[in-house]
Chain A
Amino acid sequence: MHNKQRLVFGYLALIPAVIVFAVFIVYPVFNTFYLSFCSYRTQTIRQGARFIGFANYVQMFGDDKMWTALKFTVLFTVISVVLESVLGMLCALIMNRQGKTRGLVCAMILIPWCIPTVVSGLMWNYIFAESYGVLNYLLQVMGLSSQPVRWLTDSRYAFLSILISDVWKTVPYMSLLMLSALKTVDSSYLEAAQIDGANKVQSFFKISMPCMKPIIIVAVMFRTIQSFRIYDLIRVLTNGGPQGKTTSLTIYTITQYTTYGNMGYGAALAVLTFIISMIIAVCFQDGVKSKLEV
Chain B
Amino acid sequence: MQAVQRKPARKIGGQIGLSLFTVLFVLMIVAPFVWLLLAAFKSGKELYSMPVQILPSSFSLQNFKDAFTVQPLTNYIVNSIVVAVVSTLLIIIIASLVSFALARTQIKGKRVVLLMLLSISLLPPVTILNPIYLMMSNLRMMNTTLGLALVLVAIELPTAAWYLMSFFQTIPDALEESAMIDGANVVTIFCRILMPLVAPGVFTVSIMTFIAVWNNYLFASVLNPSKKARTVTVALTMYAGETTTPWNTIAAAAIVACVPLVIMVLICQRRIVSGMVDGAVKG
Contact = CB atoms under 8 A, between A and B. Distances in A.
Interface of A: 2-3, 5-7, 9-11, 13-14, 16-18, 20-21, 23-25, 27-29, 31-32, 35, 91, 94, 97-98, 101, 103-120, 122-124, 126-127, 129, 131-132, 134, 137, 141, 168, 172-173, 176-177, 180-181, 183-184, 215, 218-219, 222, 225, 228-229, 231-232, 235-236, 249-250, 253-254, 257, 263, 266-267, 270-271, 273-274, 277-278, 281, 288, 291-294
A115 B154 contact: no
Given A16-B94, A180-B281, A281 B122 contact: yes
B190 to A, nearest CB: 7
B130 interface: yes
Interface in B255-269: 257-258, 261-262, 264-266, 269
Interface in B1-58: 18-19, 21-22, 25-26, 28-30, 32-33, 35-36, 39, 47-52
**Nearest 3 A/B pairs, CB to CB:** A10-B105, A28-B128, A24-B154
Contact of A236 (B100, B237, B264): B237
B132 interface: yes
A117 B127 contact: no
Nearest to A178: B280
A292 B187 contact: no
Nearest to A120: B32
Given A101-B22, A176-B276, 10 more contacts: A31-B130, A114-B265, A115-B33, A119-B236, A123-B251, A126-B250, A180-B280, A215-B280, A266-B130, A270-B124
A127 B232 CA distance: 22
Contacts of A137: 50-52
B187 to A, nearest CB: 7
B175 interface: no
Interface in B198-250: 211, 214-215, 217-218, 232-234, 236-237, 247, 250
Interface stretch (B59-67, B68-76, B108-116): B108-116
A25 B266 contact: no
Contacts of A235: 217, 237
Nearest to B97: A13
Interface of B: 18-19, 21-22, 25-26, 28-30, 32-33, 35-36, 39, 47-52, 93-95, 97-98, 100-103, 105-107, 110-111, 113-132, 134-135, 150-151, 153-155, 157, 161-162, 165, 169, 180, 185-187, 190, 211, 214-215, 217-218, 232-234, 236-237, 247, 250-251, 254, 257-258, 261-262, 264-266, 269-270, 272-273, 276-277, 280-281, 283
